[in-house]
């Protein structure tokens, strides 16, 4: 197959990938179309009085599929957000949730704004007004439509949104579940901030458990010492780079940001670079590496693993032929266009697809939503009981060792590690790890089990679309 001459848009790319996948499936044309299309998009234009005048903002909330409710998807704040992008992102949410067996439909929101242009109190006014517009139409609602953070938003915005919803729904006992990614003190859950980056790490760990898969990418060994380039040191990229380097021994040899890139073959200390970006606004001037002004070019540098974690369409017809990394891990949504995808596959590259790799965010959002609805912290009932049970075992073993005259006992380090009951953070990590492993295995079964399926992305779509189709069928469609 030849690569398309014109670069497909993000939305077209998602459709092309969907269409490639359904060719391997036995769906009726009607059901296929029902699953592909975006059910609805609400566009809102609202005014806020700022700096002595009324400023008008444009926002969107798209619902791609309501085969399960609530529908779920982040809210993005970016200057170039548009309807097509939000609809593409909403479609990805449908397939992502299905892939990781999170019982939600797909949705997404966007507000056309550059958050860096506004003061915090101004951002609060704008966010609250946007939330009001969405909530009064049930486009924010614990049982129908539950947003979360995405590019340009985080805990702060989610705290404003939940507070706004509460003011409008004073008797809703489940109000906290109207949005996820909230701070802990506003109904959030331990481990949500880093969940997407943590999920990227878990997805790579799972990939590296399968020698055949590594071989397909021309890699071997473990994550230890692997050279990684990351684009975007925001929420997702920062956490992924931090965990991979600090816990798995990866060497981060390149970081690409808005103002350029830093490269260093010996490895870039991520915490130090993050502090530098916080203080100066960019990577330029960072003392522990070489600055490259044309950061985009660094995507083409030699490395083992390339992690685009910023924007869509950054790997496209213009650079796909020059990408050297054998393994591309899509931490961002839609970083590889459909045209580039075809070129990269023809060149034998392995792509771990966005709908799998960055699903850690929505997975932990699901845990947060469940926590909010159950009104109790995970682990609160059983943690101490678990500790008491474990202590019983350890004490008994120690008694037996003592009575039998053994010269060695159980070390204090093992004892405290073993006895400790799981708190919320441990349970969230365990649930996330299990989710990422299980989802990988379901993709992998299709990838290796069917001779006609060449890549993980199409395998992921086949699994997801199959689940969405089953859900529609059970509703009689
Ligand atoms: P973020 O706003 O926290 O970070 C984005 C980072 O990318 C920032 O550091 C920014 O400076 C950088 N960036 C922006 N333009 C760039 C450019 N042209 N070149 C290089 N770097 C650039 O956003 P995020 O939440 O980390 O989201 C990143 C991606 O991950 C998006 O595609 C988003 O949809 C996806 N995602 C995020 C989550 C989440 O939980 N936050 C979940 C799933 C997917």
The 10s digit of each residue's pLDDT in 388-401 is 999 999 999 999 99
Q: Is the dihedral of CA 153, 354, 257, 190 positive or negative?
A: positive
Q: What is the DSSP letter of 353?
A: -
CB neighbours of residue 175 within 10 Å: 20
Asked whether 269 lines ligand 1 (CB < 6 A), one says: no
**Taking residues 142-165, what's their average pLDDT?**
97
- Residue 311: Cβ-neighbour burial (10 angstroms; 0-12, 13-18, 19+): middle
List C-alpha distances in Å: 382 to 375, 389, 422. Answer: 15, 10, 8
Distance from residue 85's CA to the centre of ligand 1 (Å): 14
User: Taking a C-beta distance cutoff of 8 angstroms, is the pair 236, 197 a contact?
Assistant: yes
Protein residue with least CA distance to atom 19, ligand 1: 258
361 sits in which H/E element: helix 360-374
Asked whether 361 lines ligand 1 (CB < 6 A), one says: yes
Report the relative pairing of strands 105-112 and 290-292 from DSSP bridges.
Answer: unpaired
**pLDDT computed for residue 1 by the predictor:** 47
**pLDDT computed for residue 4 by the predictor:** 53
d(CA 147, CA 164) in angstroms, rounded, equals 13
**Rounded to the nearest 5°, which phi and psi values hold at 467?**
-70, -40
Q: What is the DSSP letter of 300?
A: G
Distance from residue 220's CA to the centre of ligand 1 (Å): 29
**Taking residues 107-112, what's their average pLDDT?**
98
Helices (H), 136-173: 155-168
pLDDT at 88 over 60: yes
d(CA 433, CA 153) in angstroms, rounded, equals 25
Distance from residue 373's CA to the centre of ligand 1 (Å): 29
Asked whether 273 lines ligand 1 (CB < 6 A), one says: no
Looking at the CA of residue 310, tell me the nearest atom of ligand 1: 7
User: Taking a C-beta distance cutoff of 8 angstroms, is the pair 87, 169 a contact?
Assistant: no
HEC profile of 84-95: HHHHHHHHHHHH
- Those residues with Cβ within 8 angstroms of residue 452's Cβ, 6 or more apart along the chain or in another chain: 24
Q: For 4-13, 424-433, 436-445, which range has the lowest pLDDT when averaged over its residues?
A: 4-13
**Taking residues 456-472, what's their average pLDDT?**
97
User: Taking a C-beta distance cutoff of 8 angstroms, is the pair 61, 107 a contact?
Assistant: yes
Token pair 């060149």: residue: 347
Asked whether 252 lines ligand 1 (CB < 6 A), one says: no
Protein residue with least CA distance to atom 37, ligand 1: 150
Asked whether 75 lines ligand 1 (CB < 6 A), one says: no
Rg (CA), the chain: 23
**pLDDT computed for residue 208 by the predictor:** 98
**Taking residues 457-473, what's their average pLDDT?**
96
pTM exceeding the 0.75 threshold for the entire prediction: yes
pLDDT at 246 over 50: yes
Token pair 């949500």: residue: 192
d(CA 234, CA 219) in angstroms, rounded, equals 27
Looking at the CA of residue 76, tell me the nearest atom of ligand 1: 34
pLDDT digits (tens, 9 = 90+) for 346-363: 999 999 999 999 999 999
Please pick, among 72, 108, 226, 371, the residue that the annotation labels catalytic.
108
d(CA 317, CA 53) in angstroms, rounded, equals 43
Asked whether 229 lines ligand 1 (CB < 6 A), one says: no
Verify cis geometry, omega within 30 degrees of 0, for the bond prior to 70.
yes
Q: Considering only CA atoms, which of 161, 162, 159 is closest in space to residue 174?
A: 162
**pLDDT computed for residue 419 by the predictor:** 95
CB neighbours of residue 217 within 10 Å: 19
Asked whether 153 lines ligand 1 (CB < 6 A), one says: no
- Domains, the chain, ordered by start: 40-186 (3.40.50.10860), 218-348 (3.40.50.720), 379-403+411-474 (no CATH)
d(CA 271, CA 252) in angstroms, rounded, equals 12
Note if 55 is an active site residue.
Answer: no
**pLDDT computed for residue 157 by the predictor:** 98
Mutate to test the pocket of ligand 1, among 92, 232, 274, 353 (most ligand atoms within 8 A of CB): 232
- Those residues with Cβ within 8 angstroms of residue 457's Cβ, 6 or more apart along the chain or in another chain: 17, 341, 351, 353, 355
Asked whether 152 lines ligand 1 (CB < 6 A), one says: yes
Distance from residue 172's CA to the centre of ligand 1 (Å): 33
Protein residue with least CA distance to atom 4, ligand 1: 234
Q: For 6-10, 262-266, 384-388, 438-442, which range has the lowest pLDDT when averaged over its residues?
A: 6-10
CB neighbours of residue 431 within 10 Å: 17
Asked whether 241 lines ligand 1 (CB < 6 A), one says: no
Protein residue with least CA distance to atom 42, ligand 1: 361
Protein residue with least CA distance to atom 16, ligand 1: 258
**pLDDT computed for residue 5 by the predictor:** 65
Q: Considering only CA atoms, which of 228, 226, 233, 231 is closest in space to residue 297?
A: 231
**Taking residues 185-198, what's their average pLDDT?**
97
Q: Which two tokens stand for residue 238?
A: 């920062």
pLDDT at 275 over 50: yes
- For residue 257, the cross-strand partners are 260
Asked whether 109 lines ligand 1 (CB < 6 A), one says: no
- What is the residue-wise DSSP string for 36-64? HS--EEEEEEEEEEETTEEEEEEEEEEEE
Asked whether 357 lines ligand 1 (CB < 6 A), one says: no
Protein residue with least CA distance to atom 9, ligand 1: 234
Looking at the CA of residue 236, tell me the nearest atom of ligand 1: 26
């Amino acid at each position: 197959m030849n690569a398309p001459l014109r670069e497909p848009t993000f939305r077209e790319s998602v459709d092309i990938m969907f269409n490639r996948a359904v060719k391997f499936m036995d769906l009726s044309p009607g059901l296929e179309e029902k699953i592909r299309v975006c059910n609805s998009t609400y566009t809102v234009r609202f005014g806020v009085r700022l700096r002595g005048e009324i400023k008008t903002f444009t926002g969107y909330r798209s619902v791609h599929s309501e085969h399960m409710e609530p529908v779920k998807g982040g809210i993005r704040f970016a200057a170039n957000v548009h309807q097509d992008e939000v609809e593409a992102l909403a479609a990805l949410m449908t397939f992502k949730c299905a892939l990781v067996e999170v019982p939600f439909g797909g949705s997404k929101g966007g507000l056309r704004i550059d958050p860096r242009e506004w003061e915090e109190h101004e951002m609060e006014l704008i966010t609250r007004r946007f939330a009001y517009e969405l909530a009064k139409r049930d486009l924010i609602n614990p049982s129908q439509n539950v947003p979360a953070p995405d590019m340009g938003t985080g805990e702060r915005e989610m705290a404003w949104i939940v507070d706004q919803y509460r003011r409008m729904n004073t008797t809703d006992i489940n109000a906290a579940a109207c949005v996820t990614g909230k701070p802990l003190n506003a109904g959030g859950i331990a481990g949500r901030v880093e969940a997407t980056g943590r999920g990227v790490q878990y997805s790579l760990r799972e990939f590296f458990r399968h020698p055949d898969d590594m071989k397909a990418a021309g890699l071997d060994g473990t994550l230890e010492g692997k050279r990684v380039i990351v684009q975007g040191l925001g929420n997702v990229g920062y956490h992924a780079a931090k965990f991979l380097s600090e816990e798995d021994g990866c060497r981060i040899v390149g970081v690409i940001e808005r103002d350029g890139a830093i490269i260093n073959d010996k490895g870039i200390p991520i915490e130090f670079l993050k502090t530098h970006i916080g203080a100066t606004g960019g990577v330029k001037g960072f003392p522990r590496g070489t600055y490259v002004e044309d950061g985009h070019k660094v995507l083409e540098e030699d490395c083992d693993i390339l992690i685009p974690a910023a924007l869509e369409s950054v790997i496209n017809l213009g650079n796909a032929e020059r990408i050297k990394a054998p393994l591309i891990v899509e931490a961002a949504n839609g970083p590889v266009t459909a045209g580039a995808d075809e070129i990269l596959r023809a060149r034998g590259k392995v792509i771990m697809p966005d709908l799998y790799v960055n699903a850690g965010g929505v997975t932990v959002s699901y845990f947060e939503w469940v926590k909010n609805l159950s009104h109790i912290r995970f682990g609160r009932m059983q943690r101490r009981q678990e500790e008491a049970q474990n202590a019983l075992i350890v004490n008994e073993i120690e008694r037996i060792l003592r009575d039998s005259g053994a010269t060695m006992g159980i070390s204090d380090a093992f004892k405290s590690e073993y006895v400790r009951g799981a708190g919320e953070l441990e349970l969230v990590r365990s649930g996330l790890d299990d989710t990422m492993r299980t989802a990988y295995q379901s993709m992998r079964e299709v990838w290796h089990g069917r001779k006609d399926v060449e890549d993980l992305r199409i395998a992921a779509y086949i699994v997801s679309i199959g689940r969405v189709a089953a859900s529609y069928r059970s509703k009689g469609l």
